[in-house]
Amino acid sequence: MDVKTACLGVLSIGDASGYEIRKKFEDGPFSIFVEGGFGSIYPALNRLTEDGSVTCSTEAQAKRPDKKVYSITAKGRLALLDRLKQMPGPDKFRSDFLFTLFFADHLPARWVESIIDARITECREKLNHLNGCSYSNPDIQGPTFVHRFGVAYYEMALRYFEENKHVIVAAALRSEAMVAE
C-alpha cells in the first residue's frame, strides 16, 4: 500500500498530525502491515492537501511549535474507497533476519542462537502488545479480523522459532566443527 493511501486510511479513522500518523504506523493498528517514515509521510500529506483529499489546520500548543492537524475530505474518502476496491498486490516480505539466517551455516553458532533468541523476545513483546489492544466492535469487523491475523502470525512465528531453533544452531555448530578440523 502506498503511503498516500495509508495516510488516508489513518485519517478516515480520525484527524491526526503527521507524528500521530507515524505512531499508528509504528505502534498502532497499522503497525502490522504499513511502513512509513516522516520522510514519506509529510510529502504524501502535502500532495494530499494540494489535491484536496485532506485539509490541514493549525493548533497552537503551549511552549511548543504549532501542530498541523490533517483531516480527510469527501474527495479523500472517495479516493481511499477507490484504492481499496482495487485488487491488492502480492504481499512483500522483506526480512534482514531471514537473510542472515539463510547464511547461518557460515556464522558462529552462538551468534545464530542469540539472534533467534532476540527474535523470540521480539515476538513475545509484539504478542503482548497486540493482546493488550482491543479492536472489538460488533459493528466493524475489519480491524478485529486484521488484529486476530497479527496475533496468529506472531504466535506461529514464535512457535516455529522455539520448535526449530535447535536445527539451525546445530547446522552452524557443524560448520564450526568442519572449519576447526
Query: Under a CB-based contact definition with an 8 Å cutoff, are residues 70 and 15 in contact?
Result: yes
Q: Are residues 103 and 173 in the same domain?
A: yes
Which domain-ending residue is among 28, 61, 84?
84
> Is 51 part of any domain?
yes
Q: Are residues 59 and 112 in the same domain?
A: no
Which domain-ending residue is among 84, 105, 125?
84
> Is 91 part of any domain?
no
Q: What is the pLDDT of residue 57?
A: 95
CB atoms within 10 A of CB 90: 5
Q: What is the pLDDT of residue 54?
A: 97
> Is 103 part of any domain?
yes
Exposure pattern of 107-134 as b/e (b: 16+ CB <10 Å)? bebeebbebbeebeeebeebbeebeeee
Q: Are residues 154 and 116 in the same domain?
A: yes
CB atoms within 10 A of CB 171: 17
DSSP H or E stretch at residue 102? helix 96-102
Q: Are residues 64 and 100 in the same domain?
A: no
> Is 160 part of any domain?
yes
Q: Are residues 136 and 108 in the same domain?
A: yes
Q: Are residues 27 and 79 in the same domain?
A: yes
Q: Are residues 58 and 100 in the same domain?
A: no
Q: Are residues 19 and 44 in the same domain?
A: yes
Cα gap 158→121, rounded to integer Å: 9
User: Would you put residue 111 in left (φ > 0), alpha (ψ -120 to 50) or beta?
Assistant: alpha
Query: Under a CB-based contact definition with an 8 Å cutoff, are residues 54 and 45 in contact?
Result: yes
The string of pLDDT tens digits covering residues 34-85 is 777 778 899 999 999 999 999 999 988 888 888 999 999 999 999 999 999 9
Q: What is the pLDDT of residue 56?
A: 96
> Is 89 part of any domain?
no
Q: How many domains does the chain have?
A: 2
Helix (H, G, I), strand (E, B) or coil at 85: coil
User: Which residue(s) pair with 71 in the sheet?
Assistant: 55
Which domain-ending residue is among 17, 50, 84?
84
pTM score of the predicted model: 0.75
Residue 79 belongs to what domain range?
3-84
Chain-centroid distance, C-alpha 132: 17
Domain CATH number, residue 77? 1.10.10.10
> Is 29 part of any domain?
yes
Q: What is the pLDDT of residue 163?
A: 97
Instruction: Mark the ranges of the chain whose per-residue pLDDT is less than 50.
Output: none
